[in-house]
Chains A and B, each alone.
Chain A
Amino acid sequence: MFAYFLRRLLLMIPVILGVILVVTATLDFIPGDPAELLLGQFATPESIQTLRHELNLDQPFFVRYLRYVGDLFCGNLGQSITLKRAVSEEIMETLPATLELTGVSMLLVLVVSIPLGTIVAAKPNSVLDNIVRLFSLAGLSMPVFWTGIVLVLFFSLNFRLFPVGGYGGLRHLFLPAVTLASASIGMVTRMVRSSVMEVLREEYITSARAKGLKEWTVLFKHALRNGLIPVVTVLGSQVGQMMGGAILTESVFAWPGLGRLTVHAIFRRDFVLIQGVVVVLALIYVLVNLLVDLSYALINPRISYQ
């Protein structure tokens, strides 16, 4: 087991280096002179020269890449052009709000999807199953930002139950969290359902039933536990989905997180800031997936790892 952990950890390194390579390479995608474009039309030749030097554009690509990697591991992501601050500082300030939002949304997904998926798995094609299936499909077909706008329209503007946006206590968190969770709830519920249904066909379920156990016990104690194993993998990919979704959700609800920072960076074409946000979120995502794989190995004793 330890050897497996170590191997996974080592395999992560080329992926991380590759991610950084892609992020640094995108600077070369910018048509024309990146420094000129990023500073806008009123830039002086001196400031362009300074930025070229700061972005290492006067260096060969490989040197620029290695410097970016080195800086990143020292916690330096460069200087934001529009905010005139270190990108890393901006990210550290906004990251907690985003983690709060995605964390609560993930909790919501777990609390809704696991029981719901298990219950409908016991009675496939029942009325409840069809309703849940329809809502799940609708949930993952809706654009997140639109879901947010519709929820604001109903719950904030019509019924005045929740604030339109902004950061604060639970009341401020509720609508953004529901918005962000909606797509994942659909996805995870479908996954739990099919996975538990698969397990219910196993012989040990038949023997548990034959032994006279209550259906409820069979379902939630015997079937759910094994049924959750494949779901763990989906949860990992949902974290990535939610990071993208958070950018849209935050923009709708004026949530002061990484998403709003990204939207600012996009509108002002602050490319260094965009690079920083993408690198940080990608690194978090790689780590989450590592944890998912490790927990997968821990909860599934049937698989042996060399």
Chain B
Amino acid sequence: MSRQTKAGNRRRVLRRFLRNRLAIIGMVIVAIYIFIAIFAPLISPMDPLKQNLSDKRIPPNKTHLLGTDQFGRDILSRILYGTQYALLVSSMSILLSIVFGTLFGLIAGYFGGVIDEVIMRIMDIFLAFPYLLLAILIVSALGPGIWNTILAIGIWGVPIFARQTRGAVIAIRDREFIQAARAIGNRAIRIMAIHLFPNIIPPIVVYAALYMGYAILMESALTFLGLGIQPPTPSWAEMIASGRNYVVVAPHIATIPGLAIMLATLGFNLLGDGLRDALDPRRSV
């Protein structure tokens, strides 16, 4: 493919993406969340940890736009700070999944044969665990906390990215430019890094966006079960879990943080869908 048609192709993908209204909405939502995560200390009206027991469980009003929780902490500030932890956990775990998933996928897809068989059977074992259960097992053993949660979600994603990468590698493995690279004596590691890897970036990006949404949901689930982010760290799911006890007298404590989770996941889903449609319009869902 000449450089010119490559650029034209890129422009076509970009145009398709920009024409998709839902994809743009998704991108804007994600951008807003990233902005909030970076500038949380500057835009939060109050200290997310400061308790004020005389002002507890107040419904949304002028001083506390989203009300206060059972300890009198400002819910808006806790949600804004919670964005940092939600994005930290999901992005770090997806990064872990991508690094190891693509590595295994590249090796399995490029070498094939016994190596492929062994790697993919191991991946099958991890895929055999129902959603959430492997993560529960890992964090229960290691002990609760942010880093163990990242590790557990990251491990869950490895086989998914490995499968995706392997499929993409097999599709191009026997093309002329790879054969040519091999014929002039390039080493396998160089072929994988320089020739194969750039070609599998598009599907990886699509999956990364879609799985960011899943990672956010998984972190919330683990935190809700008491395994993920620990109080008093502001976290959306922890706010729901502890606010659940006051759902009769102060329903806003448990319900509002859920909207933050839903909107974040929705944003990443829309973005991922849009990217997939733009890169491969025939496989749109």
- B137 contact from A152, A245, A269, A278, Cβ within 8 A: A278
Contact with A along B112-149 (1 / 0, CB 8 A): 00000000011011101111111011101111000000
* Bound: A39/B121 CA distance, A: 36
Given A31-B143, A194-B284, is A247 in contact with B128 using a C-beta cutoff of 8 Å? no
Please state if A266 and B125 are interface contacts (CB–CB under 8 Å): no
Cα–Cα, bound, A5→B9 (Å) = 44
> Does B81 interact with chain A (Cβ within 8 Å)?
no
- Most chain A Cβ neighbours within 10 Å, of B131, B240, B247, B265: B131
- Within the complex, the shortest CB–CB distance from B184 to chain A, in Å, comes to 38
Give Cα A113–Cα B68 distance, bound, in whole angstroms.
39
Contact with A along B65-88 (1 / 0, CB 8 A): 000000000000000000000000
Tell me whether B1 is interfacial, beta carbon within 8 Å. Answer: no
A27 interface residue (CB < 8 Å to B): yes
Q: Which residues of A contact B240 (CB under 8 A)?
A: 143, 145-146, 149
Residues of B within 8 A of A29 (CB): 138, 141-142
**Bound CA span A110–B143, Å:** 38
Asked if B121 contacts A14 (CB within 8 A), the reply is: yes
CB nearest to B285 among chain A residues? A194
A145 touches B221 (CB 8 A): yes
Do residues B137 and A274 form an inter-chain contact, with CB atoms below 8 A? yes
Whether the pair A191, B285 counts as a contact (CB closer than 8 A) is yes
- Pair A22/B266 contact, Cβ less than 8 Å: no
A262 with B247: CB separation less than 8 A: no
For chain A, the count of residues having a C-beta within 8 Å of the partner chain is 57
**Which of B137, B255, B258 touches A23 (beta carbons < 8 Å)?**
B137
* A233 CB, nearest partner CB in chain B, Å: 13
Contact A243 B131 (CB under 8 A): yes
B19 to chain A, nearest CB (A): 13
Interface of B is mostly: helix
Inter-chain contact A248/B225, CB cutoff 8 Å: yes
Cross-chain contact B225 with A142 (CB below 8 angstroms):
no
Do A248 and B130 form a contact, CB below 8 Å, given A138-B262, A266-B226?
A: no
Q: A14-B121, A269-B140 are in contact. Are A143 and B221 (CB under 8 A)?
A: yes
- Total interface residues in chain B, CB < 8 Å: 46
Of residues 13 through 58 on chain B, the ones whose CB sits less than 8 Å from some CB of chain A are none
Q: Which of A172-180, A281-289, A296-304 contacts B (4 or more CB under 8 A)?
A: A281-289
Q: Do residues A244 and B133 form an inter-chain contact, with CB atoms below 8 A?
A: yes
B149 smallest CB distance to A (angstroms): 13
Inter-subunit contact B137/A141 (CB<8 Å): no
CB contact under 8 A between A146 and B261, given known A244-B131, A274-B140: yes
Chain B residues lying within 8 Å of A122, measured Cβ to Cβ, are none
B254 within 8 A of partner (CB): yes
B137 touches A157 (CB 8 A): no
Of all chain B residues, which has the CB nearest A263?
A: B225
Q: Is A153 an interface residue (CB 8 A)?
A: yes
Given contacts A194-B284, A266-B140, contact A281 B225 (CB under 8 A): no
- Cβ of A267 within 8 Å of any chain B Cβ, yes or no, is yes
Chain B nearest Cβ from A149, distance in angstroms: 5
A1-38, CB under 8 A of B: which get 1 and which 0? 00000000000001110110111001101110000000
Supply 20 A–B pairs (Cβ within 8 Å), ascending by A.
Answer: A15-B124, A22-B125, A22-B129, A23-B137, A26-B140, A27-B141, A29-B141, A137-B270, A142-B261, A142-B262, A143-B237, A144-B221, A146-B255, A149-B240, A149-B244, A149-B255, A191-B285, A243-B131, A247-B136, A278-B136
Beyond A22-B137, A137-B266, A146-B255: 12 further Cβ-contacts under 8 Å? A18-B121, A18-B125, A19-B128, A26-B137, A26-B140, A29-B138, A30-B141, A143-B217, A143-B261, A271-B140, A274-B137, A286-B128
- A-B pairs with lowest CB-CB distance, top 8: A244-B132, A18-B125, A146-B258, A244-B131, A240-B130, A141-B265, A29-B141, A243-B130
